[in-house]
Amino acid sequence: MRPMLKDFLKDNPDNRIYTDCLTRLGEASQKMGSWTDAEIYYKRALYSWPANNATKRAGLRLAEMIGAGVLLETAHLFFASDRYIEAYNIFKALSFCEDKKIADQSIICLAYCSFHMNRWQEALDLFLRWLGDNFDAPESAQVQTDYRQCQAIIDQCRQWMPGIDRQPPFPERSGLIVRILKKAGEWVKM
């Protein structure tokens, strides 16, 4: 299976299942006892964008191999060097970690990462999720301040672009049948 997946990845680097193939190669390497290859494949899957379930799985497997704390520190280094995509993927994977302390820290870091990637609504949701579980934490006051800042940015965007929340009840469609239905609607109104 490994040679087929390697050939597939080489021939199709932009395929939507690229991350899943890398994760499966990592799992196969791990089962064969090739820890170095497994770590390489998991890291490649983890640093791919966009993140998906295979990315999360690769992150959790890598956390099992090298330790969740080490992986969390790696994500912090990526975040500090403005490599938000890599940091985002690691924080996202570690937010599902069984260790509550690591999961909570990953959620708040993921919120900040989303904020810096201009994914403000996602950041807002993550801030709320973190505050729901950690309202009494010492960092709570800062997180609440950042939450309000994020909400202000979203409100400002809505003010600048008044139609941002308004979506038509039906998507625009073109074609003869739509014109006929519109004409029939006009006749009914008469």
Residues 8 and 59 in one domain: yes
In a domain, 179, yes or no: no
User: Is 180 a member of any domain?
Assistant: no
CATH classification at residue 86: 1.25.40.10
**In terms of domains, do 79 and 61 share one?**
no
Pair 130, 158 in one domain: yes
* Domain identity same for 75 and 147: yes
Same domain, 9 and 58: yes
76 band by pLDDT with thresholds 50, 70 and 90: very high
CB 29 within 8 A of CB 37: yes
pLDDT score at 173? 44
**C-beta of residue 36 within 8 angstroms of C-beta of residue 20:** no
Indicate whether 24 and 82 sit together in one domain: no
pLDDT by residue (tens digit) across 10-43?
766 666 777 887 888 888 888 888 888 888 888 8
Place of tokens 């800042």: 149
Give the span between the Cα atoms of 7 and 25, in whole angstroms. Answer: 12
What is the per-residue pLDDT across 111-154, written as a single tens digit (0 to 9) for each?
989 888 888 888 888 888 888 887 777 788 888 888 888 888 88
For residues 151-160, give the mean pLDDT.
78
The average pLDDT across 51-72 equals: 84
Nearest to 69 by CA among 87, 94, 88, 86: 94
Give the helix, strand, coil percentages of the chain, each rounded to 5: 75, 0, 25
Residues 75 and 148 in one domain: yes
Would you state the pLDDT for residue 169? 45
* Judgement on whether residues 48 and 25 belong to the same structural domain of the protein: yes
**Is residue 11 in a domain?**
yes
Residue 159 within any structural domain of the chain: yes
Statement to judge: residues 59 and 142 lie in one domain: no
Q: Taking all residues of the chain, what is their mean pLDDT, rounded to a whole number?
A: 78
Residue 53 in tokens: 């379930």
Question: What average pLDDT score do residues 83-92 get?
Answer: 88
In a domain, 170, yes or no: no
**Would you say residue 164 has pLDDT above 60?**
no
Structure tokens at 116: 């810096």
Number of domains, the chain: 2
Which range of residues forms the domain containing residue 31?
Answer: 1-66
* Domain assignment of residue 182, yes or no: no
Instruction: Count the neighbouring beta carbons within 10 Å of the beta carbon of residue 163.
Output: 7
Residue 76 sits in the same domain as residue 154: yes
Amino acid code (one letter) for 179: R
Would residue 126 count as lying in a domain? yes
Structural domain includes residue 177: no
- Whether residue 33 is found in the same domain as residue 20: yes
DSSP 8-state assignment for residue 51: -
One domain, residues 56 and 90 = no
Confidence of residue 81 (pLDDT cuts 50, 70, 90): very high
pLDDT of residue 118: 83
CA–CA separation, 90 and 106 (whole Å): 8
In this prediction, residue 77 carries a pLDDT of: 92
Q: Is the pLDDT of residue 176 over 60?
A: no
